[in-house]
Amino acid sequence: MLITEILSRNARQYGDEVALIERDPVPGTRRDISWTQFDAQAHEVARALSACGIGKGDKVVLLLMNCLEWLPIYFGILRTGAWVVPLNFRFGAEDILYCTTLAEARVMFFGEAFIDRIARVKPALDGSVHTYVFVGPAEKRPDGAEAYAAFLNNAATRPSPDVALGPADSAALYFTSGTTGRPKGVQLTHRNLAFACQVENQHHRQTHADNFLCIPPLYHTGAKMHWFGNFLVGARAVILKSIQPADILAAVSEEKATIVWLLVPWAHDILIAIEEGRIDLSAYDLSTWRLMHIGAQPVPPALIRKWKAVFPHHEYDTNYGLTECTGPGCVHLGIENIHKVGAIGVPGHGWRCMIVDFNTWIGEHKLVPAATGTAGELAVRGDGVMTAYYKNPEATAATLHDGWLLTGDIARQDAEGFIWLVDRAKDVIITGGENIFPVEIESFIMGHPKVQDAAVIGYPDPRLGEIALAVVMVKPAQTMTEAELMQFCDGLPRYTRPRKVIFADVPRSPTGKIEKPKLRRMYTGHAGILG
């Protein structure tokens, strides 16, 4: 069943039940829509797009901050047979122009936060984008854009488009973050999207009674594909427009959320707020919260130990995935495997994994498994694997091999079959001929009770080539010296210990990944070979 058909089914079965809730703590607003309203709004979007000439195979850009309109627009685009092109809300004007041009998009939905950026690129896009739809306050609508309500009303009397869609049809074009150069377009099919629903639901056992608290940006496959587990069974979800600890706990308490997907920094912030007395847990009813899971980045085991000490009744899971495999789930720890915290887990539902031997791959140009316990490149295979990098045959050929997707991540598999992420291939530091994996050092440093966040990058050294530089973010109200940290790092093998320490903030993307190119530019003067 395609995800457009799942929405129609939910509307038939659950009609007036609440489907989506939007909470925005700053103005203190709350909006919601039922499954019937969700389905009807998606039909309205599809009618309006059809009326302006959008059909199967066309591309439509979706550039919005998280909001109640986001998902109905997404599904409306899919119902026309067009490809939905969600863009990162952190993209600057140049990346917006590049991605929209590469996609040859004909229509763009955008919100208030992007008015200035769109104004800068609009003259260069007007040859391809013929309709701009502004989703925001009517009084702020810029010239040259139609108001969202008017765009829908103009096609209110038209029938919904009747487009034959199949699992192999392309559905979406997601762009990578661009941390290693220009963003690459990841081409996904309707089969990919439907498979993600099944994977997520199998992993976290959502029922119609669950309520998913969605905090990460919807443009990213992570947040939306975790919501897909609820969507498959017609369960409600809350879109929270805040990452503040008190707002997260209030949303769980007041909306009776059962599942919350957090990023590492947000989990840290909640624990720190509790430790410092800024959060009083007795003020919240958190009895419905059954599952806390984390993805998008390596998770320090020390963080989960602290979390379980505060929330012992929570089930916990971590998920590994990529945009290229339709989001999270190709590897997952499993809520039954809390004893293996630190591993990213085992192959997900419907997925196969291989640790590829580096030497064999380089020498013979074929994928051969590495020996158990030996580090190699993680490859995955399943119905979530992308079709291609759009209009990029070279990158596609380097990534897809006989149905396997090479992730670019270095991992090892233990004797029990659990996969441990070692690092990104591009982030490995070579010190005097020895490979140092920053993730392992970061995880160790995060075990210090005074440390809130940590990142490790390579720093040029005339003798050793590179040394490990640790950027350490100390918890609020705490102080730490370099000597204190270095003494703590005596617990690491000598050659992996940081040789240089900087106490500063650790920049992270909206999906929680450490922005290492930014750190390299700040502290070494360049972003790295691939950055």
In this predicted model, what pLDDT tens digit does every residue of 28-42 receive, in sequence order? 999 999 999 999 999
pTM of the model: 0.84
Contact call for residues 270 and 249 (beta carbons, < 8 A)? yes
Asked whether the beta carbons of 199 and 331 are under 8 A apart, the reply is no
pLDDT tens, 170-207?
999 999 865 446 789 999 999 999 999 999 999 999 99
pLDDT tens figures, 397-431: 989 998 999 998 889 999 999 999 876 667 778 77
Ranges for all domains in the chain classified under CATH 3.40.50.12780: 34-190
DSSP state letter for 311: -
Measure Cα distances from 12 to 6, 7, 77, 201, 360 in Å: 10, 9, 20, 21, 54
pLDDT reported for residue 463: 62
pLDDT grade for 69, boundaries at 50, 70 and 90:
very high
CA distances from 309 to 283, 305, 442, 443 (A): 19, 6, 22, 19
Does residue 361 surpass a pLDDT of 70?
A: no
Q: ∠ at Cα 510 (132, 196), nearest 5°?
A: 80
pLDDT in tens, 219-269: 988 889 999 999 999 999 999 999 999 999 999 999 999 999 998 878 988
- What is the pLDDT, as a whole number, of residue 528? 45
pLDDT at 386 over 90: yes
pLDDT for residue 150: 96
CATH number belonging to domain 428-524: 3.30.300.30
Total residue count of the chain as it appears in this document = 531
What's the number of CA atoms in the CB half-sphere (13 Å) around residue 106?
13
The pLDDT, as a whole number, for residue 300 is 78
The residues, any chain, with a CB within 8 Å of residue 2's CB and separated by 6 or more, are: 165, 167, 190, 193, 194
Q: Model confidence over 295-340: pLDDT tens digits? A: 766 677 888 999 999 999 999 999 888 899 998 889 999 999 988 9
Burial class (CB in 10 A: 0-12, 13-18, 19+), 356: buried
| Sole residue written with tokens 């208030």 | 112
- 514-518's contacts with Cβ under 8 Å and 24+ in sequence apart are 514/297, 514/442, 514/455, 515/179, 516/179, 516/427, 516/455, 516/457, 517/179, 517/180
Distance CA 398, CA 254 (A): 48
Determine contact, residues 80/163, Cβ cutoff 8 Å: yes
Q: Report the percentage of the chain scoring pLDDT > 70.
A: 93
The pLDDT assigned to 337 comes to 92
Indicate the fold that domain 34-190 takes in CATH: Rossmann fold (3.40.50)
Taken in order 393, 397, 403, 406, is the CA torsion positive or negative?
A: negative
Least confident of 18-22, 26-30, 139-143, 368-372: 368-372
254's tokens: 């007041």
Distances (CA, A) of 239 to 11, 69, 296, 324: 19, 11, 19, 24
> CATH 3.30.300.30: which residues of the chain?
428-524
